[in-house]
Every structure is written in structure tokens, then in C-alpha cells.
């Protein structure tokens, strides 16, 4: 078994050594969790474990340490890491490379093509080809999206033709070639001229032909979905069928396995093709009890006889626990359930009282703030009375956003078809008025410019793109932001004349020094143009600026831009592409100071390097989404100090629907943090206020 700790095979605390002594206990605790996971998987023989640390606790490094243990334990082992997006597959692969700094010297040569080659797969075809060539890498990274596309219409048509060839034998029905083609075309959209008949196992053929009506010589009613499901099983069975075998499967964002196509990747494509499974999720309690049980049952897809394990999971008193919580009564089996679950789950949580503080930006809502909300609520009522359907939660989130977002909701939803009197009344309130008249936007801008004035970085999450754009426009036009931009530009002009000096003092290439000087000019702690002062500034920030390494030179130039100032305000949403590199700009020790983000930014990026303020301008009923947004800033190694907590700010107008929403969302977040099966009550739109009798802990 791989040993973790100082002087051992691997020590995860080395990856964060630059963070200082304050984070050492947290980093050493990662070693404990990795050791606990390895013990359950490789010593106790459990088929799988759930790694459920809260957002920002370093789950990626802990999971990759288990991958290292698997490869070190068996040199010819294979590990597959499955992520929820192609971007995250790249992030995991990059962090696997970083893990080399955490291992003892005898393992360092294993990183790279000469040791344990790592590969990222963009499609199932590439993975399938490597499997057929017996050329699987020791550790592979792919996304659900890449692997779930294992089927094709042409292959489905080939299987259907193969099954229909056997129609006479199984159903006594002889089909003419044109009838076969018509039946297939009715089920699958493809050009049958290019389709070849596939060989089909007898069991699959019987199940398909059971849906063929002998009298009408056509598919029975409701046949489509049953046959589509059978064809999916056949497609999955035919892939990776050349000896693809993984000793360990790691699945990131495992709560997203609720999606049918994603779950089929594990349950069908990879079924019995992996020995052990590690499911990684920060929000296991956001699942309902039945969903939580399904995640445990995903471990039965591991190889070997898992009958006993499945029986044990089905026998867990999870339904009794759910009933006890619903009725607010004691649950005598809590200790036993907790003990069993510790075999299959490890979870580390933040001490929120010590790590976070909450603020509220609110004001008394005037009539013009209340009226759009009341009008849109009336429109929702009208839609429901007319028998139409609209996503109520989504619409109400729009009410709490901004006038531009509310206007967009009216245009793009069934609300537009309701009583036009109310739509005209809404227009009467907002028509001809600037977004600056929106009371919530106006209040937020004043608070944000106060942070800008003190050179404080802040991330602002909005639910709607229209709101993000309106905030950006108002902030960019604000005198405080304009003044700071002008001051930064004057400093940039002055420091630009001293690039050669900075390059000499810091031992940098002059091209790279140009980018460093630009960042320096836009920083709140910009140094005096003296050798000692510049060097002190460089020591403080060099890690974030590439540390002077050659491959960082051109990269820094691309981030800061050539001949352009660094803006004070940037956005990260559906309208901003990767070429703008706004997240990387925000992670500099300088302007930008405000990052306006939509839900696009709530996963997969780090914003904590110089920021400890997150504004939840819009709220969503999903507490998992709220925690993900806060987790972009609340992470190990963040800018907070011993006496500086992460500041979470709720923004709303008093007297409006969102004031109620803000109070309930905070309560739902606490529920999701500690209550097993919390998703059950979140789906029912109910809160459990007395949590202490039902809390469980899952230490390493």
C-alpha cells in the first residue's frame, strides 16, 4: 500500500507548500483522506467509495493521489478519469502533471511517456482504437460528452436489419425487403442505402422482435423507446470490446450521473470494464434518498461478484431515515446507518463560522421596484389559469434580477401570450427609462464602486446575461471606475519608460518584463521605481505571473494584451470567448477588480488567488449551484488571512419576493451541507430547520 506523509511515497502538502503554515493542517488532512480511500478500495475490498468533500477542499488532488496509489500498486494498471466537460478533462490532466512534485524521488520518472503515459480523449473512437490496438495509456482523461456518443444511426439500423432477418424464425412473420427497410426507417433516421446488416445476439433480437405486431406487420404502440433502449445496449456492448479494462474508474461531478445518457456511459459502456470506482462530488446531499442509493448502486458495475454488495445497499434503512426526517421524529438506526455509510463515503467540510461571513446589500423597495415584480407574478398566474406551462422557478429568478432580464423573460417565455394588459403595464413602468433607474442595479453599483475605490477584488454572479451586461455598462460609466482607469493608465505610461530597468533588476527578458510592468502599473500595491521596492513586489507576486519561466512570457503578453490598458470591469459569460481571457486577467494581482459572471463561471475555474468577496446578485433555488458559485472564491490557498474571512454578499430589495428567497436559500444551503438525502425536501420546496438530530459525519 502506498504511504502518504512527509518522507513517504507521496505527500500532497508539497503541492501547497507555498501557501504557508496556515494551510498545512488542511493539506495534511488531504493525505488522510487519500489514505482512507485507498484503504477502503485496496485493503477492505470495497467496490467503490464516494469522495464528497465540499467545494474548494482539493478533491481533485485527493482523487489523483488514489490514481497514483493504484498505478504504483500495480505497474501495468490502467486508470480512467471521467469528467463532466472537455475543459475539466484538460484541468484534471494538467493537475496530474502537477502531482509529480508531491511524490518521492523514486516515483518522479513515472510522470511522462517513459513512465505512466497520460492521454486525453476527445471521442469514443480514439479510446476504442487504442483499446483495440492494446495501446491504452496508464491514465486516461475523457468527458461524459466524449464517451456518451458511442452510438450511430447507421449502426442502429444495421442491428435492426439483423433482427428483422430473424423475424420468420421468432415471430413466424415473413417480411419482404421493402417492409424491412420501411420498418427500420420508421425507427431510425439514416440513409439505408449505406447501411450494412450487423450480426445481433439472439437475446437482443428476441427483445426487439417482441415489439413487432404480426397482424399489422408494423411496430407496436410505444415500441420506439423500448427498441431505442435495446439498441443503446447493443451499441455500448460493441464498443471497447477489445480487452479494455481499467483498474480504477474516477468519475468527477458524480451527481450529474442522473442524466440518462451520462449514466449509460458507466452502466453500459463501462459495465464490468473497471475493477474499482471512485465517485467524486461536492454535493452528495443535494440528491434525494433514492438518487443517493442509485449512486451507491453504481458500484455494482465494477467487475467481480457484487451480489452481496447490492443486497446490502438495498437493505439500508434510507427510506426509514427519510420518513423520520419528514415526520421530524427520532431515527434509532442513525448510528448504524452512519457506520455503514462511512465504508463508502468520505467527506470534509469547511468550518463556515470560522471561514465565512455573510453580508446583505438591500434597501427599502420603492414602488417602481415592487411593480415589475407584482406584474410578472400576475402574468404567471394568467399563464397557469389558461392551462399553459412555464418554469415558475426560472421566471421568478428573473423577477429578482433586473428590468432588462424581466423584459427578456416576457419576450422569450409563455408569459408573452398572457393578458396583454399586464405586459403594457410593465412597459409603462420601464419604457423610456435607463437601466440606471432599476433600484436593485443602482444599489449594487454603489456598493461595488465602494469596493473598487478600496481596490478590492469581487466576483458578482448574475443569473441572466442581460443583467450582467447592464451591470457592466453602469459600472464602466461610473465616475469612480473611470477615475481609477485613468489613474492606472497614467501609472502605466510612467512605468512603461522603465521596462529596461525592471528587466535588469529582476533578471527577466525585456518582452516578458513589459507584461510584468503593465500588471505592476495596474496593481493597488504598485511599488516605487526603486530596485528594492520592485524586487519586493516581484517576490510577492511572481508565482501568479509565471515565475519568470520561458513558457510564461508569451502567455502573459496574451493575457494583458499589447498596447491596451487592463480594464477595471470584465465579464465571463456566454458572450465572452476564451480569447478574451478575462478569468486570467482577474487572477492577476492588479486590475480587473470586478468580474461579472453568469452560471457559466460557477464550475471549473478558480477565482480565489486575490479575491475573497463574492456577490450573489441573483439567487437560484438550487443550493448546489449557490455553493458552487461561492466555491470559486472559497478554496484552499485563497487570499483570505487569519482575520479575513470569505465574504458572501446577498443582494436584494426589501419587501420583494427575493427577500423571502434570500432567507430560504441560506437555509437550504445549510440543509444541503449536512443532511443526507436533502434533495428529497429541496425538490418538495420544504426546509428542515432542526438539523442536529439528523447530522452524520464521514471522516477519513
- The domain limits of the chain are 33-149+240-346, 153-234
Nearest to 502 by CA among 455, 492, 544: 492
Minimum mean pLDDT among 59-73, 80-94, 356-370, 407-421: which range? 407-421
For the chain, give the percent of residues with pLDDT over 90: 45
Mean pLDDT confidence for 142-169: 91
Taking Cα atoms as reference points, which of 688, 684, 676, 670 lies closest to residue 290?
A: 676
Give the pLDDT confidence of 477-490 residue by residue, as tens digits.
999 999 999 999 99
Of the pLDDT bands very low, low, confident and very high (cuts 50, 70, 90), residue 394 is low
Give the CA-trace dihedral at 78, 82, 87, 90, to 10 degrees.
-10
Helices and strands (DSSP H and E) totals, the chain: 31, 15
Cell numbers given for 48: 467503490
Sort residue 546 into left (φ over 0), alpha (ψ -120 to 50) or beta.
left
Contact present, 69 and 6 (Cβ < 8 Å): no
Q: For residue range 566-590, list pLDDT tens digits in order.
A: 999 999 998 888 888 899 999 999 9
What is the C-alpha R_g of the chain?
29
Contact 462, 468 (CB under 8 A): yes
pLDDT for the residue numbered 657: 73
Give yes or no for a contact between 210 and 203, defined as CB atoms under 8 angstroms apart: no
Give the domain 33-149+240-346 fold: Rossmann fold (3.40.50)
Peptide bond into 152 cis (omega under 30): no
424: cell is: 403594457
Instruction: Judge contact between 534 and 506, C-beta under 8 A.
Output: yes
- Give the model confidence (pLDDT) of 497-526 as tens digits: 898 999 999 888 888 888 899 999 999 999
The full DSSP string for 382-440 is HHHHTT----HHHHHHHHTT-HHHHHHHHHHSGGGGS-HHHHHHHHHHHTT--GGG-HH
Residue 478 grid cell: 461610473
Please provide residue 49's backbone torsions phi and psi, each rounded to the nearest 5 degrees: -140, 150
Cell numbers that stand for 248 in this block: 480504477
Burial of 26 (0-12, 13-18, 19+ CB in 10 A): middle
Read off the pTM.
0.89
Tell me how far apart the alpha carbons of residues 284 and 113 are, in angstroms, rounded to a whole number. 36
User: Is residue 274 within 8 Å of 248, Cβ to Cβ?
Assistant: yes
How does pLDDT run across 276-308, given as a tens digit for each residue?
999 999 989 989 999 999 999 999 999 866 678
pLDDT tens column, 49-72: 999 999 989 999 999 999 999 999
Nearest to 676 by CA among 256, 289, 254: 289
Phi first, then psi, for residue 316 (nearest 5°) are -60, 140
CA distance 177 to 174: 10
Interhelix angle 334-342/318-327, nearest 10 degrees = 130
Return the closest-CA partner of residue 111 out of 605, 498, 103.
Answer: 103
Cα(481)–Cα(463) distance, integer angstroms = 24
Give the model confidence (pLDDT) of 180-226 as tens digits.
999 999 898 888 888 888 889 999 999 999 999 989 999 999 999 99
Residue 387 pLDDT exceeds 90: no
Q: In degrees rounded to 5, what are phi and psi of residue 259?
A: -65, 135
Q: What is the pLDDT of residues 224-237, one digit of tens each?
A: 999 999 999 999 98
Q: Count CB-CB contacts under 10 A for residue 618.
A: 26
Amino acid at each position: 500500500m502506498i504511504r502518504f506523509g512527509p518522507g513517504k511515497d507521496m505527500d500532497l502538502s508539497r503541492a501547497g507548500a507555498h501557501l504557508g503554515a496556515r494551510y498545512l493542517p488542511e493539506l495534511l488532512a488531504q493525505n488522510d483522506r487519500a489514505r482512507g480511500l485507498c484503504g477502503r478500495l485496496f485493503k477492505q475490498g470495497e467496490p467503490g467509495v464516494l469522495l464528497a468533500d465540499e467545494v474548494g477542499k482539493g478533491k481533485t488532488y485527493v482523487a489523483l493521489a488514489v490514481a497514483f496509489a493504484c498505478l504504483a500498486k500495480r505497474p501495468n494498471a490502467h486508470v480512467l478519469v471521467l469528467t463532466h466537460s472537455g475543459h475539466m478533462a484538460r484541468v484534471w490532466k494538467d493537475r496530474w502533471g502537477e502531482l509529480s512534485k508531491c511524490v518521492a524521488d523514486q516515483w518522479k520518472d513515472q510522470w511522462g511517456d517513459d513512465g505512466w503515459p497520460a492521454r486525453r480523449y476527445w471521442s469514443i473512437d480514439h479510446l476504442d482504437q487504442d483499446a483495440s490496438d492494446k495501446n491504452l495509456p496508464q491514465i486516461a482523461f475523457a468527458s461524459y460528452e466524449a464517451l456518451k456518443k458511442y452510438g450511430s444511426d447507421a449502426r442502429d439500423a444495421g442491428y435492426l436489419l439483423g433482427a428483422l432477418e430473424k423475424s420468420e424464425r421468432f415471430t413466424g412473420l415473413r417480411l419482404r425487403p421493402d417492409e424491412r427497410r420501411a420498418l427500420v426507417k420508421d425507427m431510425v433516421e439514416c440513409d439505408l442505402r449505406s447501411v450494412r446488416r450487423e450480426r445481433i445476439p439472439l437475446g437482443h433480437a428476441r427483445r426487439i422482435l417482441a415489439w413487432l405486431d404480426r397482424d399489422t406487420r408494423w411496430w407496436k404502440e410505444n415500441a420506439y423507446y423500448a427498441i431505442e433502449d435495446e439498441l443503446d445496449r447493443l451499441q455500448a456492448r460493441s464498443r471497447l470490446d477489445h480487452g479494455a479494462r481499467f483498474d480504477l474508474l474516477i468519475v468527477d461531478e458524480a451527481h450529474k450521473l442522473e442524466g440518462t445518457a451520462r449514466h449509460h456511459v458507466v452502466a453500459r459502456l463501462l459495465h464490468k470494464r473497471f475493477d474499482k470506482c471512485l465517485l467524486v462530488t461536492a454535493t452528495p446531499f443535494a440528491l434525494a434518498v433514492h438518487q443517493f442509493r442509485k449512486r451507491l448502486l453504481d458500484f455494482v458495475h465494477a467487475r467481480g461478484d457484487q451480489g452481496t454488495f447490492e443486497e446490502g445497499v438495498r437493505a439500508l434503512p434510507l427510506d426509514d431515515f427519510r420518513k423520520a426526517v419528514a415526520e421530524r421524529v427520532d431515527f434509532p438506526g442513525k448510528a448504524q446507518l452512519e457506520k455503514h455509510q462511512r465504508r463508502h463515503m468520505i467527506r470534509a467540510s469547511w468550518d463556515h463560522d470560522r471561514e465565512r461571513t455573510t453580508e446583505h446589500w438591500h434597501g427599502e423597495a420603492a414602488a417602481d421596484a415592487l411593480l415589475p415584480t407584482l406584474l410578472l407574478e400576475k402574468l404567471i398566474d394568467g399563464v397557469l389559469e389558461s392551462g399553459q406551462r412555464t418554469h415558475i422557478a426560472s421566471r421568478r429568478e428573473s423577477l429578482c434580477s433586473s428590468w432588462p432580464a424581466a423584459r427578456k423573460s416576457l419576450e422569450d417565455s409563455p408569459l408573452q401570450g398572457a393578458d396583454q394588459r399586464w405586459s403594457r403595464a410593465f412597459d409603462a413602468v420601464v419604457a423610456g427609462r435607463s437601466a440606471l433607474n432599476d433600484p436593485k442595479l443602482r444599489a449594487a453599483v454603489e456598493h461595488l464602486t465602494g469596493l473598487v475605490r478600496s481596490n478590492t477584488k469581487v466576483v458578482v454572479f448574475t443569473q441572466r446575461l442581460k443583467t450582467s451586461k447592464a451591470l457592466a455598462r453602469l459600472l464602466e460609466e461610473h465616475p469612480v471606475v473611470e477615475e481609477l482607469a485613468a489613474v492606472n493608465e497614467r501609472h502605466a505610461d510612467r512605468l512603461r519608460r522603465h521596462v529596461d530597468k525592471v528587466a535588469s533588476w529582476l533578471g527577466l527578458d525585456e518582452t516578458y518584463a513589459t507584461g510584468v510592468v503593465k500588471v505592476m502599473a495596474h496593481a493597488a500595491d504598485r511599488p516605487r521605481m526603486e530596485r528594492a521596492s520592485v524586487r519586493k513586489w516581484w517576490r510577492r507576486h511572481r508565482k501568479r505571473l509565471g515565475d519568470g519561466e520561458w513558457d510564461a512570457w508569451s502567455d502573459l503578453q496574451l493575457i494583458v494584451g499589447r498596447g491596451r490598458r487592463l480594464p477595471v470591469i470584465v465579464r465571463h459569460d456566454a458572450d465572452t470567448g476564451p480569447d478574451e481571457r478575462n478569468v486570467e486577467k482577474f487572477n492577476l494581482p492588479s486590475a480587473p477588480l470586478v468580474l461579472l459572471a453568469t452560471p457559466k463561471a460557477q464550475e471549473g475555474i478558480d477565482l480565489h488567488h486575490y479575491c475573497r468577496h463574492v456577490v450573489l446578485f441573483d439567487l437560484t433555488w438550487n443550493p448546489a449551484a449557490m455553493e458552487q458559485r461561492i466555491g470559486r472564491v472559497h478554496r484552499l490557498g485563497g487570499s483570505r488571512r487569519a482575520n479575513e474571512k470569505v465574504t458572501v454578499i446577498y443582494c436584494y430589495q426589501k419587501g420583494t419576493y427575493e427577500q423571502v428567497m434570500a432567507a430560504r436559500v441560506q437555509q437550504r444551503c445549510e440543509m444541503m451541507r449536512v443532511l443526507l438525502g436533502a434533495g428529497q425536501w429541496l425538490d418538495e420546496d420544504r426546509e428542515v430547520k432542526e438539523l442536529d438530530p439528523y447530522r452524520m459525519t464521514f471522516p477519513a
